[in-house]
Structure 1
Amino acid sequence: MDILDTDAYDRRQRRNMSCALFLSLLPFFASTGLYFYLWTPESKPSIIFAAVKSAPILLLAAVVLSWNGCQSVLGVVGGLLFSAVGDWCLIWSEHFLHGMGAFAASHLLYSLAFLSSRYATYSSSSWTRILSLILLLIGGTFYFHLYPFLQKAPDSDIVTPAVGAYIFLIVFMGALAIRTRRFATLMGSLVFMVSDMSLAVQVFNAAKIAHGQYFVMGTYYLAQLLIAVGDIRASENKEDFGKWKRS
Protein backbone atom coordinates (compact mmCIF):
# COMPACT_ATOMS: atom_id res chain seq x y z
CA MET A 1 0.00 0.00 0.00
CA ASP A 2 1.60 3.26 -1.14
CA ILE A 3 1.37 6.65 0.57
CA LEU A 4 -1.65 7.81 -1.46
CA ASP A 5 -3.59 4.64 -0.71
CA THR A 6 -2.73 4.92 2.97
CA ASP A 7 -3.87 8.55 3.04
CA ALA A 8 -7.16 7.69 1.32
CA TYR A 9 -7.70 4.80 3.75
CA ASP A 10 -7.06 7.06 6.73
CA ARG A 11 -9.55 9.61 5.41
CA ARG A 12 -12.20 6.91 5.00
CA GLN A 13 -11.50 5.65 8.52
CA ARG A 14 -11.83 9.14 10.00
CA ARG A 15 -15.06 9.73 8.04
CA ASN A 16 -16.52 6.41 9.21
CA MET A 17 -15.55 7.14 12.82
CA SER A 18 -17.11 10.60 12.63
CA CYS A 19 -20.37 9.10 11.37
CA ALA A 20 -20.29 6.46 14.12
CA LEU A 21 -19.64 9.13 16.74
CA PHE A 22 -22.53 11.26 15.46
CA LEU A 23 -24.89 8.28 15.60
CA SER A 24 -23.80 7.46 19.15
CA LEU A 25 -24.59 11.06 20.15
CA LEU A 26 -28.18 10.97 18.84
CA PRO A 27 -29.63 9.94 22.25
CA PHE A 28 -27.87 12.96 23.79
CA PHE A 29 -29.40 15.31 21.22
CA ALA A 30 -32.84 13.73 21.70
CA SER A 31 -32.71 14.01 25.50
CA THR A 32 -31.48 17.60 25.28
CA GLY A 33 -34.40 18.45 23.02
CA LEU A 34 -36.75 16.76 25.48
CA TYR A 35 -35.44 18.92 28.33
CA PHE A 36 -36.04 22.15 26.42
CA TYR A 37 -39.44 20.92 25.29
CA LEU A 38 -40.57 20.15 28.85
CA TRP A 39 -38.95 23.04 30.71
CA THR A 40 -40.88 26.24 31.40
CA PRO A 41 -40.16 29.10 33.83
CA GLU A 42 -43.01 27.73 35.96
CA SER A 43 -41.53 24.21 36.16
CA LYS A 44 -41.61 22.90 39.72
CA PRO A 45 -38.69 20.96 41.23
CA SER A 46 -39.30 17.22 41.06
CA ILE A 47 -37.39 13.98 40.81
CA ILE A 48 -38.72 13.42 37.29
CA PHE A 49 -37.57 16.84 36.11
CA ALA A 50 -34.18 16.31 37.77
CA ALA A 51 -33.86 13.04 35.85
CA VAL A 52 -34.77 14.74 32.56
CA LYS A 53 -32.22 17.50 33.21
CA SER A 54 -29.34 15.14 34.04
CA ALA A 55 -30.15 12.52 31.37
CA PRO A 56 -28.20 14.21 28.52
CA ILE A 57 -25.04 14.34 30.67
CA LEU A 58 -25.39 10.70 31.72
CA LEU A 59 -25.82 9.73 28.07
CA LEU A 60 -22.67 11.70 27.19
CA ALA A 61 -20.79 9.84 29.91
CA ALA A 62 -21.98 6.54 28.41
CA VAL A 63 -20.78 7.60 24.95
CA VAL A 64 -17.31 8.58 26.18
CA LEU A 65 -17.06 5.37 28.20
CA SER A 66 -18.05 3.26 25.19
CA TRP A 67 -15.38 4.93 23.02
CA ASN A 68 -12.53 5.33 25.49
CA GLY A 69 -13.16 2.59 28.03
CA CYS A 70 -12.20 2.86 31.67
CA GLN A 71 -9.25 5.17 30.95
CA SER A 72 -11.64 8.15 31.13
CA VAL A 73 -13.33 7.22 34.42
CA LEU A 74 -10.90 9.36 36.41
CA GLY A 75 -11.24 12.07 33.80
CA VAL A 76 -14.05 13.23 31.53
CA VAL A 77 -16.42 10.35 32.32
CA GLY A 78 -16.04 11.01 36.04
CA GLY A 79 -16.47 14.74 35.43
CA LEU A 80 -19.69 14.12 33.53
CA LEU A 81 -21.04 11.91 36.32
CA PHE A 82 -20.32 14.59 38.92
CA SER A 83 -21.94 17.13 36.60
CA ALA A 84 -25.09 14.98 36.51
CA VAL A 85 -25.09 15.01 40.32
CA GLY A 86 -24.72 18.79 40.20
CA ASP A 87 -27.63 19.06 37.76
CA TRP A 88 -29.76 17.01 40.14
CA CYS A 89 -28.85 19.17 43.16
CA LEU A 90 -29.46 22.50 41.41
CA ILE A 91 -33.08 21.59 40.76
CA TRP A 92 -33.64 22.48 44.42
CA SER A 93 -32.30 25.91 45.44
CA GLU A 94 -31.53 24.75 48.97
CA HIS A 95 -28.96 22.33 47.52
CA PHE A 96 -27.08 25.01 45.58
CA LEU A 97 -23.84 24.55 47.56
CA HIS A 98 -23.99 20.77 47.09
CA GLY A 99 -24.43 21.28 43.37
CA MET A 100 -21.54 23.71 43.22
CA GLY A 101 -19.39 21.19 45.08
CA ALA A 102 -20.28 18.48 42.56
CA PHE A 103 -19.37 20.75 39.66
CA ALA A 104 -16.11 21.70 41.39
CA ALA A 105 -15.23 17.99 41.51
CA SER A 106 -16.17 17.78 37.83
CA HIS A 107 -13.75 20.58 36.91
CA LEU A 108 -10.98 18.89 38.89
CA LEU A 109 -11.50 15.66 36.96
CA TYR A 110 -11.55 17.53 33.64
CA SER A 111 -8.28 19.18 34.64
CA LEU A 112 -6.78 15.75 35.40
CA ALA A 113 -7.92 14.54 31.98
CA PHE A 114 -6.29 17.50 30.21
CA LEU A 115 -3.02 16.69 32.02
CA SER A 116 -3.10 13.01 31.05
CA SER A 117 -0.88 11.39 28.44
CA ARG A 118 -3.83 11.00 26.05
CA TYR A 119 -3.67 14.72 25.41
CA ALA A 120 -0.57 15.85 23.55
CA THR A 121 1.56 18.06 25.75
CA TYR A 122 3.21 21.18 24.41
CA SER A 123 5.72 23.48 25.95
CA SER A 124 4.17 26.76 27.02
CA SER A 125 4.29 29.41 24.33
CA SER A 126 3.79 33.13 24.70
CA TRP A 127 0.23 33.01 23.35
CA THR A 128 -0.86 30.20 25.69
CA ARG A 129 0.50 32.17 28.65
CA ILE A 130 -1.24 35.31 27.43
CA LEU A 131 -4.57 33.51 26.99
CA SER A 132 -4.24 31.92 30.42
CA LEU A 133 -3.55 35.34 31.93
CA ILE A 134 -6.60 36.75 30.15
CA LEU A 135 -8.75 33.96 31.63
CA LEU A 136 -7.35 34.72 35.09
CA LEU A 137 -8.16 38.42 34.68
CA ILE A 138 -11.68 37.60 33.48
CA GLY A 139 -12.24 35.30 36.45
CA GLY A 140 -10.89 37.87 38.93
CA THR A 141 -12.92 40.70 37.40
CA PHE A 142 -16.07 38.60 37.46
CA TYR A 143 -15.58 37.71 41.13
CA PHE A 144 -14.94 41.38 41.96
CA HIS A 145 -18.23 42.26 40.21
CA LEU A 146 -20.12 39.45 41.95
CA TYR A 147 -18.67 40.04 45.43
CA PRO A 148 -21.20 42.69 46.65
CA PHE A 149 -24.08 40.44 45.64
CA LEU A 150 -22.51 37.42 47.35
CA GLN A 151 -22.36 39.46 50.54
CA LYS A 152 -26.14 39.84 50.42
CA ALA A 153 -26.72 36.09 50.29
CA PRO A 154 -28.24 34.56 53.47
CA ASP A 155 -25.21 32.29 53.99
CA SER A 156 -22.64 34.74 52.62
CA ASP A 157 -19.90 33.59 55.00
CA ILE A 158 -19.89 30.23 53.19
CA VAL A 159 -21.01 31.24 49.72
CA THR A 160 -18.49 34.06 49.20
CA PRO A 161 -15.28 31.98 49.57
CA ALA A 162 -16.92 28.94 47.95
CA VAL A 163 -17.76 30.89 44.78
CA GLY A 164 -14.23 32.33 44.73
CA ALA A 165 -12.71 28.83 44.91
CA TYR A 166 -15.11 27.61 42.22
CA ILE A 167 -14.15 30.43 39.86
CA PHE A 168 -10.49 29.59 40.38
CA LEU A 169 -11.13 25.92 39.52
CA ILE A 170 -12.96 26.65 36.30
CA VAL A 171 -10.33 29.20 35.24
CA PHE A 172 -7.63 26.61 35.99
CA MET A 173 -9.49 24.06 33.86
CA GLY A 174 -9.74 26.60 31.04
CA ALA A 175 -6.00 27.32 31.23
CA LEU A 176 -5.24 23.60 30.96
CA ALA A 177 -7.64 23.34 28.01
CA ILE A 178 -5.62 26.05 26.26
CA ARG A 179 -2.51 23.97 26.87
CA THR A 180 -4.00 20.98 25.00
CA ARG A 181 -4.40 23.10 21.83
CA ARG A 182 -7.49 21.09 20.90
CA PHE A 183 -10.32 23.17 19.47
CA ALA A 184 -13.25 21.17 20.89
CA THR A 185 -11.65 20.93 24.34
CA LEU A 186 -10.77 24.61 24.45
CA MET A 187 -14.14 25.82 23.20
CA GLY A 188 -15.97 23.49 25.59
CA SER A 189 -14.07 24.88 28.57
CA LEU A 190 -14.65 28.49 27.53
CA VAL A 191 -18.36 27.94 26.88
CA PHE A 192 -18.60 26.25 30.28
CA MET A 193 -17.19 29.42 31.86
CA VAL A 194 -19.78 31.52 30.04
CA SER A 195 -22.59 29.21 31.18
CA ASP A 196 -21.48 29.21 34.82
CA MET A 197 -21.01 32.97 34.92
CA SER A 198 -24.44 33.48 33.39
CA LEU A 199 -25.95 31.21 36.02
CA ALA A 200 -24.13 33.00 38.86
CA VAL A 201 -25.33 36.49 37.92
CA GLN A 202 -28.90 35.21 37.84
CA VAL A 203 -28.73 33.22 41.07
CA PHE A 204 -27.24 36.16 42.99
CA ASN A 205 -29.32 38.81 41.18
CA ALA A 206 -26.25 40.55 39.76
CA ALA A 207 -27.82 40.97 36.30
CA LYS A 208 -30.87 40.08 34.27
CA ILE A 209 -30.48 37.97 31.13
CA ALA A 210 -33.33 37.63 28.67
CA HIS A 211 -34.37 33.96 28.47
CA GLY A 212 -31.59 33.32 30.97
CA GLN A 213 -32.41 29.68 31.74
CA TYR A 214 -32.42 28.76 28.07
CA PHE A 215 -29.08 30.48 27.59
CA VAL A 216 -27.50 28.86 30.65
CA MET A 217 -28.62 25.34 29.79
CA GLY A 218 -27.98 25.72 26.06
CA THR A 219 -24.38 26.80 26.64
CA TYR A 220 -24.00 24.17 29.38
CA TYR A 221 -25.04 21.24 27.19
CA LEU A 222 -22.91 22.58 24.33
CA ALA A 223 -19.88 22.86 26.61
CA GLN A 224 -20.25 19.31 27.89
CA LEU A 225 -20.71 18.00 24.33
CA LEU A 226 -17.51 19.71 23.15
CA ILE A 227 -15.49 18.45 26.12
CA ALA A 228 -16.77 14.90 25.58
CA VAL A 229 -16.03 14.94 21.84
CA GLY A 230 -12.62 16.46 22.53
CA ASP A 231 -11.81 13.60 24.89
CA ILE A 232 -12.84 10.99 22.32
CA ARG A 233 -10.79 12.71 19.64
CA ALA A 234 -7.80 12.88 21.97
CA SER A 235 -7.87 9.10 22.36
CA GLU A 236 -8.23 8.58 18.61
CA ASN A 237 -5.29 10.83 17.82
CA LYS A 238 -3.17 9.15 20.47
CA GLU A 239 -3.83 5.76 18.87
CA ASP A 240 -3.04 7.13 15.41
CA PHE A 241 0.23 8.54 16.71
CA GLY A 242 1.13 5.18 18.24
CA LYS A 243 0.46 3.41 14.93
CA TRP A 244 2.61 5.95 13.10
CA LYS A 245 5.51 5.34 15.51
CA ARG A 246 5.29 1.57 15.04
CA SER A 247 5.18 1.76 11.23
Structure 2
Amino acid sequence: MSHHALIEERPWLLASIVAAVAFYLLRDNAVGGIQLMALKGAGVALLAVYAFRRGVGTNGLLLTTYLAFGALGDVLIEISITYGGAAFFAGHMAAIALFLRNRREAPTGSQRAAGAALVLLTPVLCWLLSGSYEVGLYGLALGGMAAGAWMSRFPRYRVGIGAVLFVISDLLIFSEMGSINLAPLPHYLIWPLYYVGQLLIAVGVVQTLLADRLATAWQR
Protein backbone atom coordinates (compact mmCIF):
# COMPACT_ATOMS: atom_id res chain seq x y z
CA MET A 1 0.00 0.00 0.00
CA SER A 2 1.36 3.46 -0.89
CA HIS A 3 2.07 5.92 1.94
CA HIS A 4 -0.74 8.16 0.68
CA ALA A 5 -3.23 5.28 0.57
CA LEU A 6 -2.24 4.17 4.07
CA ILE A 7 -2.87 7.67 5.45
CA GLU A 8 -6.18 7.87 3.56
CA GLU A 9 -7.48 4.61 5.01
CA ARG A 10 -5.83 4.83 8.43
CA PRO A 11 -9.04 6.04 10.16
CA TRP A 12 -10.88 2.83 9.22
CA LEU A 13 -8.05 0.61 10.47
CA LEU A 14 -7.55 2.71 13.59
CA ALA A 15 -11.29 2.69 14.37
CA SER A 16 -11.32 -1.08 13.92
CA ILE A 17 -8.41 -1.57 16.30
CA VAL A 18 -9.95 0.79 18.87
CA ALA A 19 -13.27 -1.09 18.73
CA ALA A 20 -11.53 -4.46 19.11
CA VAL A 21 -9.43 -3.32 22.06
CA ALA A 22 -12.43 -1.64 23.69
CA PHE A 23 -14.46 -4.84 23.43
CA TYR A 24 -11.65 -6.86 24.98
CA LEU A 25 -11.35 -4.45 27.91
CA LEU A 26 -15.08 -4.02 28.49
CA ARG A 27 -16.37 -7.55 27.89
CA ASP A 28 -16.29 -8.45 31.60
CA ASN A 29 -17.72 -5.15 32.78
CA ALA A 30 -21.34 -4.16 33.31
CA VAL A 31 -21.96 -2.97 29.76
CA GLY A 32 -25.36 -3.54 28.14
CA GLY A 33 -25.61 -6.70 26.06
CA ILE A 34 -26.68 -5.05 22.81
CA GLN A 35 -24.05 -2.32 23.10
CA LEU A 36 -21.34 -4.87 23.78
CA MET A 37 -22.47 -7.02 20.84
CA ALA A 38 -22.36 -3.97 18.57
CA LEU A 39 -18.89 -3.08 19.80
CA LYS A 40 -17.70 -6.64 19.20
CA GLY A 41 -19.08 -6.69 15.67
CA ALA A 42 -17.63 -3.26 14.89
CA GLY A 43 -14.03 -4.46 14.95
CA VAL A 44 -14.25 -6.70 11.89
CA ALA A 45 -17.13 -4.72 10.32
CA LEU A 46 -14.77 -1.74 10.03
CA LEU A 47 -12.20 -4.01 8.40
CA ALA A 48 -14.92 -4.95 5.89
CA VAL A 49 -15.44 -1.24 5.15
CA TYR A 50 -11.69 -0.84 4.69
CA ALA A 51 -11.63 -3.81 2.29
CA PHE A 52 -14.61 -2.48 0.36
CA ARG A 53 -12.97 0.92 -0.09
CA ARG A 54 -9.50 -0.36 -0.96
CA GLY A 55 -10.16 -3.78 -2.50
CA VAL A 56 -9.99 -4.28 -6.26
CA GLY A 57 -12.51 -6.10 -8.46
CA THR A 58 -13.92 -9.52 -7.64
CA ASN A 59 -11.09 -10.27 -5.23
CA GLY A 60 -11.91 -7.17 -3.24
CA LEU A 61 -15.60 -8.07 -3.13
CA LEU A 62 -14.81 -11.60 -1.92
CA LEU A 63 -12.59 -10.21 0.83
CA THR A 64 -15.32 -7.76 1.85
CA THR A 65 -17.88 -10.58 1.90
CA TYR A 66 -15.60 -12.74 4.04
CA LEU A 67 -15.08 -9.97 6.58
CA ALA A 68 -18.75 -8.96 6.58
CA PHE A 69 -19.79 -12.53 7.43
CA GLY A 70 -17.10 -12.56 10.10
CA ALA A 71 -18.56 -9.43 11.71
CA LEU A 72 -22.04 -10.98 11.53
CA GLY A 73 -20.71 -14.14 13.13
CA ASP A 74 -19.13 -12.13 15.94
CA VAL A 75 -22.56 -10.77 16.84
CA LEU A 76 -24.64 -13.89 16.26
CA ILE A 77 -22.35 -16.14 18.27
CA GLU A 78 -23.37 -14.12 21.34
CA ILE A 79 -26.94 -15.34 20.69
CA SER A 80 -26.28 -18.85 19.44
CA ILE A 81 -23.09 -20.69 18.52
CA THR A 82 -25.08 -22.36 15.73
CA TYR A 83 -26.10 -19.05 14.14
CA GLY A 84 -22.63 -17.62 14.60
CA GLY A 85 -21.03 -20.75 13.17
CA ALA A 86 -23.29 -20.57 10.11
CA ALA A 87 -22.18 -17.00 9.43
CA PHE A 88 -18.52 -17.91 9.81
CA PHE A 89 -19.02 -20.96 7.58
CA ALA A 90 -20.41 -18.71 4.84
CA GLY A 91 -17.47 -16.37 5.30
CA HIS A 92 -15.01 -19.24 4.97
CA MET A 93 -16.63 -20.19 1.67
CA ALA A 94 -16.03 -16.65 0.37
CA ALA A 95 -12.43 -16.79 1.58
CA ILE A 96 -11.84 -20.17 -0.07
CA ALA A 97 -13.16 -18.75 -3.35
CA LEU A 98 -10.81 -15.78 -2.96
CA PHE A 99 -7.77 -17.93 -2.28
CA LEU A 100 -8.54 -20.39 -5.07
CA ARG A 101 -8.63 -17.44 -7.48
CA ASN A 102 -5.19 -16.46 -6.23
CA ARG A 103 -3.30 -19.73 -5.95
CA ARG A 104 0.48 -19.63 -5.69
CA GLU A 105 1.96 -20.73 -9.01
CA ALA A 106 4.78 -22.94 -7.72
CA PRO A 107 4.39 -23.82 -4.04
CA THR A 108 7.28 -25.64 -2.39
CA GLY A 109 6.97 -29.07 -0.87
CA SER A 110 6.89 -27.63 2.66
CA GLN A 111 4.11 -25.22 1.65
CA ARG A 112 2.08 -28.08 0.21
CA ALA A 113 2.63 -30.12 3.37
CA ALA A 114 1.53 -27.22 5.58
CA GLY A 115 -1.58 -26.70 3.47
CA ALA A 116 -2.45 -30.40 3.62
CA ALA A 117 -1.95 -30.43 7.40
CA LEU A 118 -4.26 -27.47 7.85
CA VAL A 119 -7.06 -28.89 5.73
CA LEU A 120 -6.82 -32.39 7.23
CA LEU A 121 -5.94 -31.80 10.88
CA THR A 122 -8.18 -28.80 11.56
CA PRO A 123 -11.51 -30.68 11.32
CA VAL A 124 -10.09 -33.57 13.34
CA LEU A 125 -8.97 -31.22 16.11
CA CYS A 126 -12.30 -29.40 16.01
CA TRP A 127 -14.10 -32.70 16.54
CA LEU A 128 -11.74 -33.99 19.23
CA LEU A 129 -11.87 -30.77 21.27
CA SER A 130 -15.62 -30.24 21.01
CA GLY A 131 -16.88 -33.80 20.84
CA SER A 132 -19.31 -32.63 18.14
CA TYR A 133 -19.50 -33.97 14.59
CA GLU A 134 -21.19 -30.73 13.50
CA VAL A 135 -18.19 -28.75 14.73
CA GLY A 136 -15.96 -31.21 12.90
CA LEU A 137 -17.82 -30.44 9.68
CA TYR A 138 -17.38 -26.73 10.32
CA GLY A 139 -13.70 -27.49 10.75
CA LEU A 140 -13.55 -28.61 7.12
CA ALA A 141 -14.44 -25.07 6.02
CA LEU A 142 -12.13 -23.52 8.62
CA GLY A 143 -9.23 -25.74 7.57
CA GLY A 144 -9.97 -25.15 3.89
CA MET A 145 -9.84 -21.40 4.47
CA ALA A 146 -6.53 -21.62 6.32
CA ALA A 147 -4.99 -24.00 3.77
CA GLY A 148 -6.15 -21.75 0.94
CA ALA A 149 -4.60 -18.73 2.62
CA TRP A 150 -1.30 -20.54 3.16
CA MET A 151 -1.18 -21.76 -0.44
CA SER A 152 -2.26 -18.46 -2.01
CA ARG A 153 -0.05 -15.84 -3.60
CA PHE A 154 -0.82 -13.46 -0.74
CA PRO A 155 2.00 -12.92 1.79
CA ARG A 156 2.12 -15.91 4.13
CA TYR A 157 3.54 -13.92 7.03
CA ARG A 158 0.40 -11.80 7.01
CA VAL A 159 -2.47 -13.65 5.33
CA GLY A 160 -1.22 -17.18 6.02
CA ILE A 161 -0.31 -16.47 9.64
CA GLY A 162 -3.58 -14.56 10.09
CA ALA A 163 -5.58 -17.59 8.97
CA VAL A 164 -3.63 -19.86 11.33
CA LEU A 165 -4.36 -17.49 14.23
CA PHE A 166 -8.06 -17.72 13.32
CA VAL A 167 -7.83 -21.53 13.48
CA ILE A 168 -6.14 -21.46 16.89
CA SER A 169 -8.79 -19.06 18.20
CA ASP A 170 -11.60 -21.35 17.07
CA LEU A 171 -9.88 -24.40 18.55
CA LEU A 172 -9.78 -22.61 21.91
CA ILE A 173 -13.53 -21.93 21.59
CA PHE A 174 -14.23 -25.59 20.86
CA SER A 175 -12.08 -26.70 23.80
CA GLU A 176 -14.65 -25.03 26.07
CA MET A 177 -17.35 -27.28 24.63
CA GLY A 178 -15.63 -30.58 25.37
CA SER A 179 -13.85 -32.35 28.19
CA ILE A 180 -10.40 -30.81 27.64
CA ASN A 181 -9.96 -27.92 30.06
CA LEU A 182 -7.51 -25.31 28.76
CA ALA A 183 -8.63 -22.59 31.17
CA PRO A 184 -7.73 -19.79 31.51
CA LEU A 185 -6.22 -19.63 28.00
CA PRO A 186 -9.53 -19.42 26.08
CA HIS A 187 -10.77 -16.46 28.11
CA TYR A 188 -7.66 -14.39 27.48
CA LEU A 189 -6.58 -15.52 24.01
CA ILE A 190 -9.65 -16.20 21.85
CA TRP A 191 -10.45 -12.60 20.95
CA PRO A 192 -6.87 -11.29 20.45
CA LEU A 193 -5.90 -14.25 18.25
CA TYR A 194 -9.09 -13.97 16.21
CA TYR A 195 -8.99 -10.21 15.70
CA VAL A 196 -5.28 -10.02 14.89
CA GLY A 197 -5.81 -12.85 12.42
CA GLN A 198 -8.61 -10.99 10.68
CA LEU A 199 -6.57 -7.78 10.64
CA LEU A 200 -3.57 -9.53 9.07
CA ILE A 201 -5.76 -11.17 6.42
CA ALA A 202 -7.51 -7.90 5.52
CA VAL A 203 -4.35 -5.81 5.29
CA GLY A 204 -2.30 -8.49 3.54
CA VAL A 205 -4.87 -9.11 0.81
CA VAL A 206 -5.59 -5.42 0.24
CA GLN A 207 -1.89 -4.57 -0.02
CA THR A 208 -1.41 -7.24 -2.67
CA LEU A 209 -4.45 -6.13 -4.68
CA LEU A 210 -3.32 -2.52 -4.59
CA ALA A 211 0.19 -3.55 -5.70
CA ASP A 212 -1.39 -5.44 -8.61
CA ARG A 213 -3.37 -2.37 -9.64
CA LEU A 214 -0.27 -0.16 -9.44
CA ALA A 215 1.75 -2.63 -11.55
CA THR A 216 -1.01 -2.75 -14.17
CA ALA A 217 -1.14 1.04 -14.30
CA TRP A 218 2.62 1.25 -14.88
CA GLN A 219 2.40 -1.22 -17.77
CA ARG A 220 -0.07 0.94 -19.64
Give the conservation status (yes or no) of the 8 Å contact 1:45–1:91.
Answer: no
Take 1:24 and 1:86, find their aligned partners in 2: how far apart are those partners? 20
Change (3 A) 1:18 1:129: same
Contact 1:122 1:179 (C-alpha < 8 Å) held by counterparts: no
Q: Deviations over 1:87-126 (max 9, x none)?
A: 111112xx1111111101111111111123xx46413431
Go from structure 1 to structure 2 and tell me whether the alpha carbon gap of 1:142 and 1:65 turns closer, same or farther (over 3 Å shift): same
Which among 73, 77, 80 is matched to residue 64 of structure 2?
77
- Judge conservation of contact 1:192–1:224 (CA < 8 Å) in 2: yes
Residue 218 of structure 1 pairs with residue 192 of structure 2: yes
* Residue 45 of structure 1: how far off its partner (Å): 7.5
- Paired amino acid for 2:26: L
Question: 1:26, CA displacement in angstroms?
Answer: 0.9
Distance 1:144 1:36 in 2: 27
Q: How many residues align?
A: 218
Letter matched to residue 66 of structure 2? G
Unaligned 5+ runs, structure 1:
1-12, 151-159
Alignment RMSD: 2.4
Match of residue 7 from structure 1: none
TM-score when normalising by structure 1: 0.78
Equivalent in the alignment of 1:153:
none
CA distance in 1, matches of 2:197, 2:177: 20
Distance in 2, matches of 1:30 and 1:144, equals 34
The 1:143–1:28 alpha-carbon spacing in structure 2 relative to 1, beyond 3 Å, is: closer
The corresponding residue for 2:96 is: 111
Residue pair 1:187, 1:223 contacting (<8 A) in 2 also: yes
Amino acid at match of 2:3: R
CA distance in 1 between counterparts of 2:123 and 2:23 reads 33
Q: Distance in 1 between matches of 2:109 and 2:56?
A: 35
What's the TM-score, normalizing by structure 2?
Answer: 0.87
Q: Quick one: percent identity of the two aligned structures? A: 23
**What residue is the counterpart of 1:17 in the other structure?**
5
Cα distance in structure 2, aligned partners of 1:113 and 1:45: 36
**C-alpha separation in 2, matches of 1:88 and 1:203:** 19
SS in 1 for 2:36: helix
Measured in 2, the distance between the counterparts of 1:44 and 1:223 equals: 26
> In structure 1, what is the Cα distance between the partners aligned to 2:148 and 2:196?
19
Gaps of 5+ in 2: none
SS of alignment partner, residue 93 of structure 2: helix
Structure index of larger Rg: 1
SS at structure 2 position matched to 1:75: helix
Residue pair 2:48, 2:67 contacting (<8 A) in 1 also? yes
